[in-house]
A and B are shown apart, each in its own frame.
Chain A
């Protein structure tokens, strides 16, 4: 395996980590308006309270790794998606601030407005992440220098919007499963009623996305035709999704959450397999595409980064798991709570 492929995988792992972790707290943000009671809403905030900040670091590090390993991809995508990414930033700032500020005052109107901000920021961020993914799958018009040649409105085509909605549905499902794990009693019973409709909504969205991909972006499935053994990923994905209602039914909340994480990881794996070796597929004009080879940093930089990751990632994983372990169990409200 060369360093370019390794870093394609590692950047993918970082963004998958972001989807699995920040995915549930973005989902909790979309679900926040589903309940009315302030005490219950506080339980939602505190379920993600100690971890949302660390979860967002996966995006920062993923972006940093992309910049470092594939500067041309980073430069083209970030400048090409200028307005979309500015909106994403506004959404992420707004929800971070909503989480921080909501609990600081007891007034009903104050909390109601921050709840709306939290909802809008979380849902908007999920939607924009999905639209970005949709455009990467669909392909972007690039010129001979690898610069984006479209406009902001050209990014909002139906396929990208469908991917956006699917992402919101996925994060809502993931968030509900996480909340089910962190709550108890009557609130947990209510969340449980949400889970099956959310799973079904996600499956419907995902089926539509898959159909659209098969029809309109057939190159994404080329690798599965050439390497039939990789169909195992699809089988595992379907099993992971089918396993969700089963684990919820059996009351094994942790298993359900892990299964939901596996769903996201496998979705990202399919995305990566379909894209490789392209990182930005140029359409029209496939010759201008950015690949893991023509857009990468030098082998020396990739080697240094591999060393940094080899030292750092085990440490990061150790204390990430430790923090989740320390804050395991049902969420309760104390004097340090949001």
Chain B
């Protein structure tokens, strides 16, 4: 195997593994703010108990996020040194802001969140919880700004050996070692054409990850008739966020797709398996891309894609046939990842609408009811839906960007480290494979132990507010 395949595979593997954890901490961080805020407002010990339990879960997940995140920062330099030299001037500012504004904020206040319950007053503790949540969101901001700049470069220009290159001009590979992107306008980089659409879509996806984790664990407790009041209240917190985030995903996802249509037509064509340019571009709810015969099999909604990205059925959409073969992303994989994301997204919407309807009927936390029981049974494995959607979404974004690592400027295959050999990458890849396998097994084991252990029993009164009680009995 050659070093390019291995390096691509190692980065994809380590980033995908890492990306299990940050969305959970972003979503769970927001829920912790909600729970602790409700406790401060009502002083109901139930909310305090919830905040304590979910904080412990947060701590475990956060630890894995940090441990696997540092790898990625190293890999830019170790495996993609040419890329690092090329983008350093632009990419660097965002990375520096990420470290200073996000990571320090998160990890500094995390100490108070996890270990400060008895050391600081409730208000300061709540403030720390808010700062951890803000830090988690900030860390998403800067990394997505950097990634979006790679998708839609702006606020910068190309230089070779210090000489600006006019827009639209390329360079010879022999000159690559002295070529680099140079920043013109920091805010132009931050607000590049795709950053805000992609940021909002990623953040609501992260909220779903946290929300469905809480929903899943709470549903499990209710089905087993354990920790009733705690589970009912957690379920409602989680469900409220799940409903909001899954509906918002639809809105932000639409914005992202419209952006892709105008900025990265080859990516959109691959996402939908569209070969022929023209109006009345169809939409496939699912299907199979037949690359050899250049067609996409499966049911179609005529004009659906034109309608979605252009607002009318005769809006012309660029097809793959109008894109040079070497500039096409891997069509089949991009298509399937995109459709997996959309399908899981609609699954989340359906499930959270159903749950909300049961809530409205007063039957949510009542497994003795047939409908509620089935909802709860489906809610337990639903923790996987946002994980699938987040992974598939990122694979769509990154596969669809190929062959570019910086859109229109640098190809992924040209961004490798010149001095790193295939056997070195193979060795590190095997190492990551082994260590991450161990990590993942331990993570699931400890997560399960924490769930089985459940929240601490309430020291004080076990009473719920009247409204909770009413719904619990209904």
Residues of chain A having any CB pair with chain B under 8 Å: 49-51, 53-54, 56-57, 59-61, 63-65, 67-72, 74-83, 85-86, 89-90, 92-94, 96-97, 99-101, 104-105, 145, 147-149, 152, 297-298, 300-301, 304-305, 308-309, 312-313, 316, 319-320, 323, 326-327, 334, 336-337
Q: Measured between C-beta atoms, what is the minimum distance from A48 to chain B in Å? A: 11
A104 CB contacts on chain B under 8 angstroms: 446, 449
Question: Contacts A89-B70, A104-B446: A309 and B96 contacting too (C-beta < 8 A)?
Answer: yes
Residues in B with CB closer than 8 Å to A63 are 73-74, 77
Beta-carbon contact of A65 and B60 below 8 Å = no
Contact A97 B442 (CB under 8 A): yes
Please, how many angstroms separate the alpha-carbon atoms of A50 and B62 in the complex? 13
CB of A94 within 8 A of CB of B435, answer yes
Chain B 84-123, CB-CB to A under 8 Å as 1, else 0, gives: 1101111111011111110111011111101111111000
Decide: A96 and B96 in contact? CB cutoff 8 A: no
Q: Contacts A59-B70, A65-B99, A85-B74 given; indicate if A75 touches B84 (C-beta within 8 A).
A: yes
Mask for B194-205, Cβ within 8 A of A = 1, else 0? 000000000000
Hey, which chain B residues are within 8 Å of A319, CB to CB?
104-105, 108-109
Chain A residues, CB < 8 A from B112:
50, 323, 326
CB distance from A81 to the nearest CB of B (A): 8
For A297, the chain B residues whose CB sits under 8 A away are: 88-89, 92
Closest residue of A by beta carbon distance from B417: A79
What is the CA–CA distance of A29 and B141 in the complex, to the nearest angstrom? 34
Decide: B66 and A71 in contact? CB cutoff 8 A.
no
User: Assuming A92-B67, A99-B63, what are 10 further A-B pairs, CB within 8 angstroms?
Assistant: A53-B63, A57-B104, A61-B99, A63-B77, A78-B74, A94-B435, A96-B66, A100-B67, A305-B92, A323-B112
Is the Cβ of B78 less than 8 Å from the Cβ of A86? yes
Contact among B76, B118, B119, B184 for A67, CB-based, below 8 A: B76
A316 touching B104, Cβ below 8 Å: yes
The smallest C-beta distance from B112 to any residue of chain A, in angstroms, reads: 6
> Which of A65, A96, A99, A336 lies in contact with B115, CB distance below 8 A?
A336
CB distance from A105 to the nearest CB of B (A): 8
Out of A77, A147, A309, name the residue touching B100 (CB < 8 Å). A309
Is B186 in contact with chain A by the CB < 8 A criterion? yes
**In angstroms, how far is the closest chain B Cβ from the Cβ of A17?**
11
Q: How far is the CA of A326 from the CA of B117 in the complex (A)?
A: 11
Interface size on B, residues (CB 8 A): 69
- Asked if B74 and A89 make an inter-chain contact with CB atoms under 8 angstroms apart, the answer reads yes
A100–B58 CA distance with the chains assembled, in angstroms: 12
Q: Nearest chain A CB to B156's CB is how many angstroms away?
A: 10
Contact A82 B78 (CB under 8 A): yes
Bound-state Cα–Cα, A297 to B90, Å: 9
CB-based contact A68/B88 at 8 Å: yes
Q: Give chain A residues whose Cβ lies under 8 Å from the Cβ of B66.
A: 53, 56, 96
Task: Report yes or no: B67 in contact with A93, Cβ–Cβ below 8 A.
Answer: yes
A201 to chain B, nearest CB (A): 29
| B358: interface (CB < 8 Å) | no
Q: Residue B71 at the A interface, CB < 8 A?
A: yes
Checking B182, B184, B419 against A79 with a beta-carbon cut-off of 8 angstroms, the contacting residue is: B419
Quote the shortest CB–CB distance from B66 to chain A (angstroms): 6
Are A327's CB and B91's CB within 8 A?
Answer: no
Give me the 3 closest cross-chain CB pairs, A-B, nearest first.
A71-B88, A68-B92, A78-B77
| Cβ contact within 8 Å between A71 and B108 | no
Query: Are the CB atoms of A51 and B111 closer together than 8 Å?
Result: yes
A100 to B21, CA, bound (A): 15
B residues less than 8 Å from A94 (CB atoms)? 435
- In the bound complex, do residue B60 and residue A100 qualify as a contact, i.e. CB atoms below 8 Å apart? yes
Other-chain contact of A61, B103, B120, B418 (Cβ < 8 Å): B103
| Bound Cα distance A99, B60 (Å) | 11
Interface-side segment among B327-335, B381-389, B424-432: B424-432
The smallest C-beta distance from B58 to any residue of chain A, in angstroms, reads 12
Q: Show 27 A/B contacts (Cβ-Cβ < 8 Å), sorted by A.
A: A53-B62, A53-B111, A60-B70, A61-B96, A63-B73, A64-B73, A64-B95, A65-B99, A68-B91, A68-B92, A72-B85, A75-B82, A83-B424, A83-B428, A85-B74, A85-B78, A89-B70, A93-B71, A145-B418, A152-B424, A297-B88, A297-B92, A298-B182, A308-B101, A312-B100, A320-B104, A320-B108
A260 to B74, CA, bound (A): 29
Answer yes or no: B177 CB below 8 A from chain A CBs.
Answer: yes
Q: List the A side residues contacting B105 at CB < 8 Å.
A: 316, 319
Tell me whether A79 and B418 are in contact (CB under 8 A): yes
Alpha-carbon distance A105/B73, docked complex (angstroms) = 32
Asked whether B81 lies within 8 Å of A78 as measured between CB atoms, the reply is yes
Choose among B60, B117, B418 the residue with the greatest number of A CB atoms under 10 Å from its CB: B418
Are B81 and A75 in contact, with the CB atoms below 8 A? yes
- Complex-state Cα separation, A319 to B103, whole angstroms: 13
The interface residues of chain B lying within 8 Å CB-to-CB of A69 are 92, 96
Taking a contact as CB atoms under 8 Å apart, the answer to whether A50 and B81 are in contact is: no
Residue among A148, A316, A334, A336 with the highest chain B CB neighbour number at 10 A: A336
B431 proximity list for chain A (CB < 8 A): 86, 90
Determine if B68 is an interface residue (Cβ-Cβ < 8 Å).
yes
A147 and B71 within 8 A (CB): no
The closest CB in chain B to the CB of A313 belongs to B100
| Alpha-carbon gap, A134 to B111, bound state (A) | 34
Q: Are A323 and B95 in contact (CB under 8 A)?
A: no
Contacting pair A327 B435 (CB below 8 A): no
- Return A264 CB to nearest CB of chain B, in Å: 20
Report Cα–Cα, A301/B181, bound state, in Å.
11
Query: Are A334 and B118 in contact, with the CB atoms below 8 A?
Result: yes
Which interface residue of A80, A297, A313, A327 has the most chain B CB atoms within 10 A? A297
Contact B100 A308 (CB under 8 A): yes
In the complex, whether B12 has a CB less than 8 A from a CB of chain A is no
Alpha-carbon gap, A305 to B186, bound state (A) = 10
Contact assessment for B428 and A82 in the assembled complex, using a CB-CB cutoff below 8 Å: yes
Hey, which chain A residues are within 8 Å of B323, CB to CB? none
In the complex, the answer to whether B117 meets A336 with C-beta atoms within 8 Å is yes
B110 touching A53, Cβ below 8 Å: yes
Alpha-carbon distance A316/B91, docked complex (angstroms): 22
A56–B114 CB distance below 8 A: no
**Chain B residues with CB under 8 A of A70:** 88
Q: Please state if B420 and A82 are interface contacts (CB–CB under 8 Å).
A: yes
A72 to B, closest residue via Cβ: B85
* B304–chain A nearest beta-carbon distance, Å: 43
The interface residues of chain B lying within 8 Å CB-to-CB of A68 are: 88, 91-93, 95-96
| B350 is an interface residue with CB less than 8 A from chain A | no
From the candidates A76, A86, A97, A326, name the one contacting B63 in the complex (CB within 8 A): A97
Q: How far is the CB of A42 from chain B (nearest CB, A)?
A: 14
State whether A64 and B70 are in contact (beta carbons under 8 Å apart), knowing that A50-B114, A336-B115 are contacts in the complex. no
B57 within 8 A of A: no
User: Which residue in chain A gives the minimum CB-CB distance to B423?
Assistant: A83
Cross-interface CB contact of B77 among A51, A60, A67, A298, cutoff 8 Å: A67
Whether B84 and A56, one on each chain, are in contact in the complex, defined by CB atoms closer than 8 angstroms, is no
What's the least CB distance linking A157 to chain B, in Å? 18
Cα-based distance from A75 to B105 in the complex (angstroms): 27
Q: Is the CB of B89 within 8 A of A64?
A: no
Contact of A57 among B89, B103, B184 (CB under 8 A): B103
Please give, as numbers and ranges, the residues of chain A lying within 8 Å of B108 by CB-CB distance. 54, 316, 319-320, 323
